[in-house]
Amino acid sequence: MRRPAAGRKDRDRFVSGKTKQNAVKAMVLTDTEGRVLFCSPVRPGSCADITQARQLGLVELLVDSPFLEILGDAGYQGMGARTGGRVLTPPHRKFKKNAPAWYEERHEQQSKAHSSRRIRVEHGIAHLKNWRVLARHLGRREHMSDIVQAVAALLSHQQTATLGHGLRA
């Protein structure tokens, strides 16, 4: 992502707290097979994942949906309590230092189980990132939201067409 000009008042707004790079982020929902179902408009890289989910109304949607389950990453920790356990995240580490051996083993097992279930979601997100227009975007930030949603729509259509093609006799 191109960096705003020096001296611009919102220059730091797009800097990600995790990677310390100029970035934007979009929330992507996939099904259990990794097919893209929804891609939100982009937000500045400094916006937290859970904040973006709240602003999009994901919490209200999940409270009203009894059979929906979302496998989130660590950025969504705390949303499970507000949605009746419908958002599953990796286990939170309770011990910072000197954790008992039994706790370390249990935490590792829970983390591995969650990541094993979530791997298809990560593959779906990776398919988006493989598109050159997203991987090497040097254009204006104002157009990025439209580009991300267009690529998500194309990818979703491509995945659906591939699925339908395999079912024909």
- For 7-42, how does the pLDDT look when each residue is reduced to its tens digit (9 = 90+)? 666 666 666 666 666 677 888 888 888 888 888 888
pLDDT for res 113: 93
Among candidates 7, 49, 1, which has minimal Cα distance to 29?
49
What was the pLDDT predicted at 79?
85
Q: Is residue 69 part of a domain?
A: no
Residue 59: inside a domain: no
> So what's the pLDDT on residue 16?
62
Backbone angles phi, psi at 68, to 5 degrees: -95, 135
For the whole model, what pTM was predicted? 0.70
Of all residues in the chain, the percent with pLDDT exceeding 70 is 80
155 is in which domain, residue-wise? 11-47+90-167
pLDDT at 109: 93
CB 66 within 8 A of CB 40: no
Asked whether residue 136 is domain-assigned, the answer is yes
Question: What average pLDDT score do residues 110-134 get?
Answer: 87
Judged by average pLDDT, the poorest of 42-56, 87-101, 116-130, 150-164 is: 150-164
> What is the C-alpha separation between 120 and 31, in angstroms, rounded?
8
**Residue 65 placed within a domain:** no
Query: Is 135 part of a structural domain of the chain?
Result: yes
pLDDT, tens only, 49-72? 888 888 888 888 887 777 778 888
Quote the number of domains for the chain: 1
β-bridge partners, 89:
none
Q: How confident is the model at residue 129 (pLDDT cuts 50, 70, 90)?
A: confident
Q: Is residue 16 part of a domain?
A: yes
